[in-house]
Structure 1
Amino acid sequence: MFFRAVASPVRSSLARPCLGLHAIRNSIPAPIVAARHLGIPPLIAQPPGGIVGTVNDPVAIPPPDKLHGSYHWTFERLIALGLVPLTVAPFVSDAALAPAVDSVLVATTLVHSYFGLQSCIIDYIPKREFGKVHDACMWLLLGGTIVTGYGFYKFETEDIGLTGTIAKAWKA
């Protein structure tokens, strides 16, 4: 009884048509609103309402791909969980293992960062709306990851490394 008394005003307010800028803004898909807010127009024209075809057309099912399905999600979670002990391991291990543990920490951090930024690009710069801009962002991410990996390599081989720098900063 209480639920009906609370839900009926909400239901009636949802049933009323909304007019104005708020209603127009809510009818536009979120990535388009975000892109327009930044001043970036979508490069591929979208159909009205974002609907392609008719209601009776079957949904196009993408081919199954294990690398971008549950295995990919599981691998991302394992990498994230692996970072937890790796951040502490160089400080508690002996000096002989420090370079190996430091290298694994750097590689895991690079992979974790790549997957996280890749997810951001896929979510906020979708290929169906931005086309070649999406592809360019993915290539920039790959190039940036390679340059960062090379920088970490030089830092590990010619300097004190990541954990040595963190230890110095911690003691300072």
Structure 2
Amino acid sequence: MASALRSPLLRQSLPTFRPQQLPRIQRAVLSTTQARRILPPLPQKIEGNVNDPARVPDPEPGHGSYHWTAERVGSVALIPMTIAPFAAGSLNPMLDGALIGLVLIHSHLGFDSVITDYAPKWRVPKSRRFLNIARNLALVVVGWGWYEFETNDVGLTEGIKRVWTA
């Protein structure tokens, strides 16, 4: 095979590529090779030195294993509560209310975990306070909206059935 490639006849039939003949490839607008800072870094404060142990946060009774257990129990309870109204075929306002309450608690705990993970108190205390207030306000507004929909309109289960069959 190597001797066949050296023959002049075969060399004339194969096209040769030279780097100057290749088209230029344009770089993407958001290239990965350049550092483009979209937002400035968060304020950083170094306490102590590398030999000091990490500070252990003060324990809070509502967090830790109780919080984790409440999240998991609520998530598992959502499965039968979501299926029950449609499987039973009943339009029970109490079942709708329980489902709405469980969805609100589940969402509240989920957003609390997101805020805890991505906005720690020691790093961004003002943003953390704002996010907690916004989360609680959203809980009240959404809860009020669900209450109005349940009492003054067709309700959650019937509303989903109407959207599904539309």
Distance 2:59 2:88 in 1: 43
Deviations 1:59-118 (A, max 9, x none): 3223333320101101100101111111111112353x7111110100000111111112
Corresponding pairs, count: 135
Higher helix share: 1
Paired position in structure 2 for 1:16: none
Rg comparison, structure with higher value: 2
Paired position in structure 2 for 1:7: none
One of 38, 42, 61 as aligned partner of 2:56: 61
Q: Closer, same or farther in 2 for the Cα pair 1:63/1:130, shift >3 Å? A: closer
Q: Closer, same or farther in 2 for the Cα pair 1:58/1:125, shift >3 Å? A: closer
Alignment gaps of 5+ in structure 2: 1-31
Alignment gaps of 5+ in structure 1: 1-20, 26-32
TM-score (normalizing by structure 1)? 0.69
Distance 1:57 1:91 in 2: 58
Alpha-carbon offset, residue 54 of structure 1: 1.7
Deviations 1:12-50 (A, max 9, x none): xxxxxxxxx97xx7xxxxxxx9xx63x3652xx313xxx
Paired position in structure 1 for 2:79: 84
Paired position in structure 2 for 1:46: 44
Distance 1:73 1:128 in 2: 22
Q: Closer, same or farther in 2 for the Cα pair 1:65/1:130, shift >3 Å? A: closer
Identity of aligned residues (%): 41
Structure 1 segment 88-167 matched on structure 2, within 5 A: 88-93=83-88, 95=90, 98-167=92-161
TM-score (normalizing by structure 2)? 0.71
Specify the SS of the correspondent of 1:127: coil
CA-based RMSD of the aligned residues comes to: 2.5
